[in-house]
Amino acid sequence: MSEMQEKYQALLQLLDEVDPEKSSKKGMLTAAVAEVLGELVSEMEKVKSRASNVEDEIDRLSETTESIASDMEELSDVVGDLCDDVDALFSDDMEDDEDSDEEEEPEDGEDSDEDFEDGEQDWDEEDDLVSFVCPECGTVGFLSRSLLDQGDQTCPECGAKVILTEDED
């Protein structure tokens, strides 16, 4: 029993001792006031209970928020590390590209052994290249303009007809 309920019960006992019959006007008025006080005490207890439940829910939500903030901080660290790894990977690739660009070029008129594999042809300086994209598989590549005279060209990956991405002049 709460402190408020104990005080109310003590007040009812005191009223019974003062006017046990409650038949007089004063006794009836006192009984009505006591009844209203009893209802107020009951409602007050309900409000206290609800407030306690709200406080418990606020505590739970606060703990959940702190947990989410901690998880977000960890996720931010992981994403940062991942971005660093990607940056390092691309910078390594760029360094490799720079290293390959620094290799010695063959002198004019000479072809290095690495330039052409079996079956490849040497492009004439006047031979223009036209870029293409495959609408089926997305392959992007280049064709010699001289091949365009032979008709439609197909994708080396999937065999679909390619779409030229430069003017054919």
What whole-number distance in Å separates Cα of residue 151 and Cα of residue 147? 8
Helices 3-18 & 25-101 angle (0-180, nearest 10): 180
Note down pLDDT in tens along the chain; length 169 residues: 788 888 888 888 887 777 667 677 887 888 888 889 999 999 999 999 999 999 999 999 999 999 999 999 999 999 998 988 888 888 766 666 555 555 555 555 555 545 445 444 554 545 578 888 888 998 888 887 777 777 788 888 898 888 877 554 4
pLDDT digits (tens, 9 = 90+) for 108-154: 555 554 544 544 455 454 557 888 888 899 888 888 777 777 778 88
Full-prediction pTM beyond 0.75?
no
Burial class (CB in 10 A: 0-12, 13-18, 19+), 116: exposed
Domain ranges (residues) in the chain: 3-99, 129-164
DSSP for the chain? --HHHHHHHHHHHHHHHH-SS--SHHHHHHHHHHHHHHHHHHHHHHHHHHHHHHHHHHHHHHHHHHHHHHHHHHHHHHHHHHHHHHHHHHHHHHHHHHHHHTSPPPPTT---TTT--TT--PPPTT--EEEEE-TTT--EEEEEHHHHTT---B-TTT-PBPEE-S---
Render the burial of 32-49: b for 16+ CB within 10 Å, e for the rest.
eebeeeeeebeeeeeeee
